[in-house]
Structure 1
Amino acid sequence: MSYEYAKAPIDALSAERLAAQGLDFALVDTADREALTSWLQAESRGFHGGRLPQAKLDAQLSHVAHRRTTGVWDPDAPDAASPVATVSTWVTNLTVPGETSIPAWAVSAVTVSPTHRRRGIARAVLEAELRTAVSLDVPVAILTVTEATIYGRYGFGASVMSADWTIDTKRTRWIGTEASGSLSFVEPHSLLTEGYDLVERVRLLTPGQVEFADFLWERLLGFDGDPESAQTLRVVRYDDEDGELQGFATFRVVEVGDDFTKHRLDLRFLVSATDEAYSALWRFMLEMDLVSSISAPLRTIDEPVLWQLSDPRAVQRVGVREHLWTRILNVPVALSARRYSAPGTFVLDVSDDLGFADGLFLLTIAADGRASVYTLDGEAPDAAAALSLTVDDLGSLYLGGVSPITLARAGRITELRPGSAVALEASLRSPVTPWLSIWF
């Protein structure tokens, strides 16, 4: 399905609310290089970044032009051409359980200038973009966040966790499997096409992953307009016995202190299509000469490498936090798109302050894991499990990485019939831990 999101009209309700404060809410003409440059500089400022040099601007300008780029302007500000708030949205593919995808409204670059805080600007632009997504029939919205206390009020629920891993390589040794393929250093540009094809192939294996083309992809290979940073990036690929690319890793080796034998390897990205490729790449890093530690941020919370080392205490999992937040906009479409681990019949009483997903729904899961979802008008079937929950908690449960039993014990969801949370846990649980390997 094609979504004409970039030029969809600005939401009239939010535009009216902001106009009452003398503020202009509008789309950026992404073909206007000067206007888009001003927006990108405002976004960088919003995240406390410096002024973007021309090289970084050039790396982004063409790649973000397809996105829906919106801002809020204050005509009375000394620099009236610079927005006081930014948000960027586009439709991407989100992997859901069952090795399939669903269209998702990706929300990024949400900033409000400190000079214009507490005026309801963030609420106006976020609600506007959600209403736009609904008008275009996009069934879910997603975002990655720097702050965890904001987005629940808009119906987003934390659905995917991540962790930062560190390994003391001098304390442990490899006890995992031997790989039969080969490892090679390559230049980053050699993987621009072949590497992306691998990433897309692997994406469907893990719920929570998204399609990341253009700048989101190229920056992982160092093409982000920072030549100095790109010079230190190293890329190693793993090919199987047939010479087919099955994985690669990008990393930097950083000198720490005065001891040249104790470098730190900073893993930037690692993707593998097979367990053998995963093991080969991790072993390569673990056994690298003159390296005493590995830092691996934004990894899944249950890395198999923990079980491939002689001393698991050489591994620390720190910085565990929510990474992807999911917002259900159309309950029947979203719930019927994924696959389930056990059959069952469920009544879900969903409350949504914004009204998009509000209602009573009947979820029926067949033995093959496929589901049908309907708005329930009559009585609930006698054998159905039944629960009451908010749309943000439904978003947390959606990808199968958060347990309804846990949320029920926490008082977040309510069993309307005893045993409903246990039954829902069996059906929703994903056999693969959800994970998102990038920021967007």
Structure 2
Amino acid sequence: MDFNDAPLDPTSVANLSEQSLRLDLVDTTDRERFAAWSNVVGRGFYGARLEEKELDFVLNSSSYRRATGVWDAETSDLDPVATLSAWTTPMSVPGGTVPTWAISAVTVAPTHRRRGIARNLLQNELRTASACGVPVAALTASEATIYGRYGFAPSARVAKLTIDTRRARWSGPVAPGRVRFIELSELDTVGRELYERSRLRTPGEIALDDETWTDIVGREFGKDDKAKDVRAVLYTDAAGTPQGFATYRVKDSENDEPLTATVLYLAAATDEAYAGLWRFILELDLVRRVVADLRSTDEPVLWQVSDVRGVKVEPYDHLWLRIIDPVAALESRTYSRAGRFVLDVADALEFAEGRWLLKVNDAGAATVTRVTGDAPEDAAHVALTEVDLALVYLGGASVTSLHRAARVTEHTDGAAALLDATLHSPVAPRLSLWF
């Protein structure tokens, strides 16, 4: 079933209808209604009303997404009191990708809080995703206390890096390729393919659409005039093949602050390109500080500078995941060692509820089956919630730490450590954009 053709969840519709609230889809081809919905989204995030040019961009770039709203007939038949947007996208996982239900634009008007609107919006999405056979839901959260109640967990953290280039000088390898400036129009041609190659190297990344691409190259709703100060560079290897790019801004210093380069995005399809681009950024003339957000918590550049104390690392949660179908989700990734595990998963919404046998072969491939009786005696056995399963799914959290925190229960001795070793990802999970 295509996600745009899927019907709304009748339970959520009925729950809201009891309060004279209507849950419905937005016809994104209806300019007036989609414009009203989009402006309510902007209001929810304290943004300005969309100009016609901005609205044209939104209509062209994201109208394929599934737009949902809640309307109160007593206030307006046009402006919703709550919004949500969703679409399906492949998300990288260790060894592969998994179909993912991406959720965005979640707003509830302050006039309609504490009426269960957000709960029914989110549960509608999860049930619809399940009906469409999508095993994982994902979002980036502006608040950290909301989504755990629906089974989401902060599965991939990121970090903001602030680099003092006088202390942390480049000490890494000399890349054999070359870096050259390019216009954003050329980056539009080569950059998205480079992003795609780059994202597959890191668990947690999703595929781009026009709107997310515009964000990472420093534009604003397609306004080229907002990107006049954005510079782009392309790294090509010794054979002349593009292998990475970076976009950045350099702002004039104020109040005796050092001249600062802000990295908007850096994508590298090879380690060589990564080194070449970072060296270029860190050696920009007159720049004394480099700021790069949404980077990995295990960023290699930390070990490619002369003084790691010259880099301030500020980690925070970013990508939140919800496991909807544990069989499809767990079978979509590969694992670091063979093993047999029984996972007793408790899920208040029942999507992932059950006893699951995870069997990983010597090649790291898995099969998952439901166990209806006693757990096999030869399997390492743990009990956890759907939130904890999402935490460890990409290898971003330690099963051992969750066990020590009394969140994961061992039913066989040493099961947490064994599961940790199996779930381990050599590359720390990360999502490099907001959606």
TM-score normalized by structure 1? 0.96
User: Residue 237 in 1 paired to residue 238 in 2?
Assistant: no
Other structure's SS at 1:6 match = coil
Deviations for 1:126-158, whole angstroms, at most 9, x for unmatched residues? 001110011111111111110111111101111
Counterpart in the other structure of 1:124: 120
Deviation at 1:353, TM superposition (A): 0.5
- Residue from 135, 138, 146 that aligns with 2:142: 146
Whichever residue aligns with residue 30 of structure 1, its letter is: T
Counterpart in the other structure of 2:44: 46
Counterpart in the other structure of 1:8: 6
Other structure's SS at 1:63 match = helix
Residues 359-438 of structure 1: matches in 2 within 5 Å?
359-438=354-433
Other structure's SS at 2:357 match = strand
Deviation at 1:258, TM superposition (A): 5.6
- Residue from 174, 179, 182 that aligns with 1:186: 182
- Residue from 72, 75, 81 that aligns with 1:74: 72
Whole-angstrom distance in 2 between the partners of 1:57 and 1:234: 26
Deviation at 1:259, TM superposition (A): 5.4
Whole-angstrom distance in 1 between the partners of 2:167 and 2:223: 35
- Residue from 346, 353, 356 that aligns with 2:351: 356
Residues 6-405 of structure 1: matches in 2 within 5 Å?
6-77=4-75, 79-98=76-95, 100-223=96-219, 224-257=221-254, 262-318=258-314, 320-405=315-400
Whichever residue aligns with residue 361 of structure 1, its letter is: W
Other structure's SS at 2:369 match = strand
Whole-angstrom distance in 2 between the partners of 1:60 and 1:6: 17
Whole-angstrom distance in 1 between the partners of 2:391 and 2:256: 45
Deviations for 1:100-133, whole angstroms, at most 9, x for unmatched residues? 1110111111100001000000001100111001
Whichever residue aligns with residue 335 of structure 1, its letter is: L
Aligned CA-pair RMSD: 1.3
Q: Could you tell me which runs of 5 or more consecutive residues in structure 2 were left unpaired when the two chains were aligned.
A: none
Whole-angstrom distance in 2 between the partners of 1:332 and 1:193: 38
Other structure's SS at 1:35 match = helix
Deviation at 1:193, TM superposition (A): 3.0
**Number of aligned residues:** 434
TM-score normalized by structure 2? 0.97
Whichever residue aligns with residue 139 of structure 1, its letter is: P
Whole-angstrom distance in 1 between the partners of 2:18 and 2:253: 55
Whole-angstrom distance in 1 between the partners of 2:59 and 2:367: 42
Whole-angstrom distance in 2 between the partners of 1:374 and 1:208: 25
Whole-angstrom distance in 1 between the partners of 2:247 and 2:233: 7
Deviations for 1:53-74, whole angstroms, at most 9, x for unmatched residues? 2232222111111111000011
Whole-angstrom distance in 1 between the partners of 2:157 and 2:332: 22
Deviation at 1:39, TM superposition (A): 0.7
Whichever residue aligns with residue 52 of structure 1, its letter is: L
Could you tell me whether the CA contact under 8 Å between 1:335 and 1:373 is conserved in 2?
yes
Deviation at 1:203, TM superposition (A): 1.8
Whole-angstrom distance in 2 between the partners of 1:204 and 1:255: 36
More moved, 385-394 vs 9-18: 9-18
Could you tell me whether the CA contact under 8 Å between 1:348 and 1:386 is conserved in 2?
yes
Deviations for 1:257-314, whole angstroms, at most 9, x for unmatched residues? 1659x31101100000111111111111111112110111111011111111111111
Could you tell me whether the CA contact under 8 Å between 1:192 and 1:218 is conserved in 2?
no
Whichever residue aligns with residue 87 of structure 2, its letter is: W
Whole-angstrom distance in 1 between the partners of 2:372 and 2:16: 38
Q: Could you tell me which runs of 5 or more consecutive residues in structure 1 were left unpaired when the two chains were aligned.
A: none
Deviations for 1:370-394, whole angstroms, at most 9, x for unmatched residues? 1111000232221211111100110
Whole-angstrom distance in 1 between the partners of 2:301 and 2:328: 36
Whole-angstrom distance in 2 between the partners of 1:173 and 1:351: 49
Deviation at 1:417, TM superposition (A): 1.2
Could you tell me whether the CA contact under 8 Å between 1:57 and 1:225 is conserved in 2?
no
Whole-angstrom distance in 2 between the partners of 1:414 and 1:378: 19
Whole-angstrom distance in 2 between the partners of 1:22 and 1:381: 51
Other structure's SS at 2:194 match = helix
Whole-angstrom distance in 2 between the partners of 1:220 and 1:54: 22
Whichever residue aligns with residue 97 of structure 1, its letter is: P
Other structure's SS at 2:416 match = helix
Deviations for 1:195-253, whole angstroms, at most 9, x for unmatched residues? 11111122211110111122111332244233442111110111111111111001110
Deviation at 1:22, TM superposition (A): 1.1
